[in-house]
Amino acid sequence: MRELLVATKNQGKMREIRELLKEFDVKVTSLADYPNCPDIVEDGKTFKANAIKKAAIIGKYTGKLTLGEDSGLQVKALGNKPGIYSARFSGEGATDEKNNSRLLSELRKVPTLKRQARYRCFAALCDGKKLIGVVDGSCGGVIIDKRKGANGFGYDPLFLIPRYKKTFGELDPLIKAKISHRARALRKLKAMLVKYLR
């Protein structure tokens, strides 16, 4: 069985990625399975740059087919912050709880109608020697002023999908798996994988 190494330690992301790629006859592993891999400094100026860097460095180090993924939240009223700093928005020792609190604090004076946001995701595939390709996906929503729901991770309890009148935190994971930024990016990645694995 072929192996696809996902260059992340984030278990929330791994759950979603494994589910989205379950139809493939590949063993999906993560950095938790390769504890000696180098730490990646996410110093790219864009999600795309960080995704490529993760895939390239881990792919070259392990010689494995590697998926590098970078994603985050962009809030229009905040000039697209937190953006690439989504996971560490609240500074050193950032947690989902602290990041959500900072986001609510920064949006304190912004009315709901002006709280448009979108999740972005870029995924890069590298075979250890070369970059195979990069795909992206996005999902639009609105940031509400109180956390709702216990599903998902990150900013999901604050990210409302108007069509469903629910946050990602409340939404059925099966629905999220069809409409999320990561789902949209990985649908494109599947086509790339099919060609590569033939």
Instruction: Count CA atoms within 13 Å of residue 140 on its CB side.
Output: 5
70 annotated active-site = yes
Alpha carbons 80 and 124: distance in angstroms, whole number: 22
Domain boundaries along the sequence of the chain: 2-197
Per-residue model confidence (pLDDT) at position 197: 80
User: What are the respective helix, strand and coil percentages of the chain, to the nearest 5?
Assistant: 40, 25, 35
Per-residue model confidence (pLDDT) at position 13: 86
Per-residue model confidence (pLDDT) at position 21: 87
Looking at domain 2-197, its CATH class is: alpha beta
Per-residue model confidence (pLDDT) at position 178: 92
List 70, 127, 156, 172, catalytic entry: 70
* Residue 23: DSSP 8-state: T
Per-residue model confidence (pLDDT) at position 129: 87
Per-residue model confidence (pLDDT) at position 154: 94
Per-residue model confidence (pLDDT) at position 35: 92
Alpha carbons 69 and 67: distance in angstroms, whole number: 6
User: What pTM, to 2 d.p., does this model score?
Assistant: 0.91
Per-residue model confidence (pLDDT) at position 1: 80
The tens digit of pLDDT for each residue in 152-169 reads: 899 999 999 999 999 999
The parts of the chain modelled with pLDDT lower than 50 are: none
Q: Note if the bond before 82 is cis, omega within 30 degrees.
A: yes
| 38: exposed, middle or buried (Cβ count in 10 Å: 0-12, 13-18, 19+) | exposed
